[in-house]
A and B are shown apart, each in its own frame.
Chain A
Amino acid sequence: GQQVMQIPQYQHVQEGEDFTTYCNSSTTLSNIQWYKQRPGGHPVFLIQLVKSGEVKKQKRLTFQFGEAKKNSSLHITATQTTDVGTYFCAGSIRVTSGTYKYIFGTGTRLKVLA
């Protein structure tokens, strides 16, 4: 079946270091979304990438969508303690005309050491 793999599973960084998480899909995606989940909380939408090769930035966060629309990455520059949480990618796969479902990656849990 369709799968979205995400690596690494865990990452511990010193505050101020950079962080990157990667997603790879077994099938071509219509789009990809990224979410952040704080400990004990629910996933919160960060961004959606739609176009092949698309790059978007949100302050210290940079998101990329691969040319083949099968992989994506999230890069955080100069991490802060507020970046702690689990980051998920979610790939959109077309089910029928006009209906899509999302396959989530397994997530990368980020810990930032002050």
Chain B
Amino acid sequence: DAGITQSPRHKVTETGTPVTLRCHQTENHRYMYWYRQDPGHGLRLIHYSYGVKDTDKGEVSDGYSVSRSKTEDFLLTLESATSSQTSVYFCAIRETGGTDTQYFGPGTRLTVL
């Protein structure tokens, strides 16, 4: 699975608290993505990165920020978590120069009470 790990795997937090999710890759891929998955919505892109310190917004970026200070780590931060951000969060990397395959991490299940 392209050496992608996500931490934590599960988290329960309260409304209004900050939360940071980490995605770590071991294979030096340039492109990294954060998605959220909710019933009836499939996977929706939150933010993506095309290099160190190069990030852009996806379709559901409100309430989220990201940072990528080194190639291997892509952090997703919920500045003040809300119940609507309860979801499963997937990180992905994209290969380039070939099939553009996206490899997904195992996911983080976040519950905001």
Distance, CA A48 to CA B40, complexed state (A): 24
Determine the interface band of chain A, counting residues with CB < 8 A from chain B. Answer: 20 to 34
* A85 at the binding interface (Cβ < 8 Å): no
Given the interface pairs A1-B59, A42-B90, A95-B56, the reply to whether A105 lies near B102 with Cβ below 8 Å is: no
Chain B residues touching A, majority SS? strand
Is there contact, CB below 8 Å, between B100 and A43? no
Is there contact, CB below 8 Å, between A48 and B99? yes
Binary interface encoding of chain A residues 79-91 relative to chain B, with 1 for a CB under 8 A from any of its CBs, else 0: 0000000001010
Is there contact, CB below 8 Å, between A43 and B43? yes
Is there contact, CB below 8 Å, between B50 and A99? yes
Is there contact, CB below 8 Å, between B102 and A33? yes
Distance, CA A37 to CA B104, complexed state (A): 10
* B112 at the binding interface (Cβ < 8 Å): no
Which chain B residues have a beta carbon within 8 Å of chain A's beta carbons?
1, 33, 35, 40-45, 48, 50, 56, 58-59, 90, 99-107
Which chain A residues have a beta carbon within 8 Å of chain B's beta carbons?
1, 6, 9, 31, 33, 35, 42-45, 48, 88, 90, 92, 95, 99-107
8 closest pairs, A vs B, by CB? A104-B43, A106-B42, A42-B104, A45-B101, A104-B42, A107-B42, A48-B99, A43-B104
